[in-house]
Amino acid sequence: MTKTDRIELNYELHFMAPFHCGTGLRVGLIDRTVVRDHDGYLYVPGSTIKGCLREQCEWLARLYEVLDPVMRERIASPHEKQNTLRAKGQPATMVTRIFGAPHHPGRLFFEDARQKDADKQEYDDTRDRKTGKGRYKSLQTSLYTQVRIDRPTRTAAPGALYTSEFGAPSAGASGARNFAFAGSITGWLTCTQIETLEDGPTYSLLLLLAGLHMLDRLGGNKSTGKGKCRIEIKGLKIEDQECSEERWRSWLDHLEALSYYSTYAASQEEEV
């Protein structure tokens, strides 16, 4: 059965390592700066979360090898031009239902993940008398100076010394390093309900929940260990009805159901 559900999913994003969500701009001696809001607080753009989450969902869909060979072939990145052109006019996949495609816009909104007011207050306890702003906002970041290595010679490349800015998790009372942001995913999600799960989710909703649990890196320099993170789902509403944690966690024990999403199911959705 095809359903169009209004989804409201709230989560917390926790970084356990320095992270870099860049602006592409240079400021003073810093070559690579991180994004801040108009008040100077770090945040994680919703587009960054959406892109990394899509990559995880595509990987999951391939892992479970959708049994329909046509649908399996169409699980591809939107940046793969040939696959995108071939998919034009075809029914949506589980992935494009969530994230959209050039020929099929998504209806879910990925909000920027921002620090909670209580966390911001830690940087504002002491204010500068001249500016009236928190003195300690600089503690949100740390600087790393790096050099690019010329691979053939294995020496430092000329003129390739640069300084990057990273969000810096601080040690809490437990000694664990952490930097928390709160975000949400809201909107409408149309997909086929999984018949094998009684009162269960649609295929796309199950894929979205699994992808959130798999996401473990965000931002730049991931290959050097930066951006390690985890996401905690704090609340899920479907059609304004609260979905208990026990309920949606039980769905994650049945990810093999993703294998049965087919071009027939997708075509039925297009007719709704």
At 118-145, the pLDDT tens digits run 888 777 655 554 555 556 788 888 898 8
Tokens describing residue 240: 């304004």
Average pLDDT on 157-162 reads 83
Rg (CA), the chain: 21
Question: Would the pLDDT of 165 be above 70?
Answer: yes
Assigned domain for 93 exists: yes
Count the Cβ atoms, other than its own, within 10 Å of residue 4.
13
Assigned domain for 217 exists: yes
Average pLDDT on 224-229 reads 90
Q: pTM of the predicted model, to two decimals?
A: 0.83
Question: Would the pLDDT of 73 be above 80?
Answer: no
pLDDT at site 245: 94
Virtual CA dihedral for 10, 15, 19, 25, nearest 10 degrees?
30
Give pLDDT tens digits for 35-62: 999 989 999 999 999 999 999 998 898 8
Assigned domain for 31 exists: no
Count the Cβ atoms, other than its own, within 10 Å of residue 124.
16
The packing angle between helices 203-214 and 46-63, to 10°, is 110
pLDDT at site 172: 46
Give pLDDT tens digits for 240-260: 999 999 999 999 999 998 888
Looking at the DSSP assignment, which residues form a beta bridge with residue 188? 6
Q: How far apart are CA 187 and CA 107, in angstroms?
A: 6
Count the Cβ atoms, other than its own, within 10 Å of residue 146.
14
Average pLDDT on 4-26 reads 93
Phi, psi angles (nearest 5°) of residue 227: 80, 15
pLDDT at site 69: 64
Average pLDDT for the chain = 83
Domain of residue 202 covers 2-25+36-137+169-270
The 3-state DSSP class for residue 266 equals helix
Q: What is the 3-state secondary structure (H, E, C) of 164-215?
A: EEEECCEECCCCCEEEEEEEEEEEEEEEEECCCCCCCCEHHHHHHHHHHHHC
Question: Would the pLDDT of 85 be above 60?
Answer: no
Instruction: Count up the domains in the chain and report the number.
Output: 1
